[in-house]
Chains A and B, each alone.
Chain A
């Protein structure tokens, strides 16, 4: 007979686990909503920047202005979470990045990484990649942090150390669906940037918005010159990439954690029910045995 006490303590431990996972689920749900609201608040900025770019790049070939020619070295800005317990969230981003590196046939020393989030840092440093910088992925995304990441990436690009800068993160599609995304941040292309801006509002769910065509206005006066505007605009556009990638990855992190905590709570509840049933059976068996012992004893005395 599995001891009644033992089963009881198992039930209690499942109960406690469920309390914790339920609390984590609620916290993640709240954080996810906040991340979505913040993402939408940044939308006017992103849209305006893209429309200025569309106007200015109309006459200038962007790739000519800002390309490092034949340099194949690549810098990857990889965004993961600091903490685990979020399902396949981080591993799918890391796998997508690694797949991209391999498909380009890049050697290890041709790749450098800016890691955001502990998981990315651990992954790339244990595999012998050069991690140029590491940032924590906290709940609060500050303008300073975004600026710093942009500066680190742009410096290496403008000094000709790397030919491309790519950014990898988990893209938030809906609460139940997130997909890894990999965009080329530099050299800048209008196509990639408008994809990011259009992707800000999720296609499904409470915060979804119909995506509208990017309007390319004409007949603008540009002061002081197209080049000067473009030069001032470039860090802002890179900041949009980084900022929205961070937001997407946080929304994904929280929703992934919410979902995996929900399934953990459900599983704990199931286990608890199973054990309660076993406990009741064991208790019943013990009572039956005691009764039959008493009856047996009485009969022995009667004889």
Chain B
């Protein structure tokens, strides 16, 4: 799925990802491709992005934010 992680003044991640794990309002959750459309607030914690290529998962600490999942991808606003 196409994943974008953005702050208001910069994009932290923009590309294809296998899955992303976020600290959601209702607890930790992992989003894979084809997930139901969803909007949730995020708590402070760490976002873990697993990319398609066989590389170390990307870890991004956050202090809060918002996740929007659509049919074609996901966007995380910090």
Residues of A within 8 A of B (CB): 38, 41-42, 44-45, 48-49, 51-52, 55-56, 141-143, 146, 217, 219-224, 228-229, 232-233, 236, 239-240, 243
What's the nearest-Cβ distance from chain B to residue A249, in Å? Answer: 15
Q: In the A-B complex, list the 9 residue pairs whose CB atoms are closest, starting with the nearest.
A: A223-B40, A45-B6, A48-B75, A224-B25, A220-B37, A221-B38, A232-B41, A222-B39, A239-B8
- With A44-B75, A48-B77, A236-B77: A143-B41 Cβ-Cβ less than 8 Å: no
Q: Mark B19-60, 1 if CB is under 8 A from A, else 0.
A: 000001110000000001111110000000000000000000
Out of B4, B25, B39, B41, which one reaches A220, CB within 8 Å? B39
Residues of B within 8 A of A (CB): 4, 6-11, 14, 24-26, 36-41, 64, 66, 68, 70, 75, 77
B39 touches A44 (CB 8 A): no
- CB-CB under 8 A from A56, the residues of chain B are 39
Residue among A41, A45, A219 having the largest count of chain B Cβ atoms under 10 Å = A45
What's the nearest-Cβ distance from chain A to residue B39, in Å? Answer: 5
A143 touches B7 (CB 8 A): yes
Residue of chain A at shortest CB distance from B25? A224
What's the nearest-Cβ distance from chain A to residue B69, in Å? Answer: 8
- CB-CB under 8 A from A220, the residues of chain B are 37-39
- With A49-B77, A51-B68, A236-B66: A143-B39 Cβ-Cβ less than 8 Å: no
Residue of chain A at shortest CB distance from B4? A44
Out of A52, A142, A221, which one reaches B66, CB within 8 Å? A52
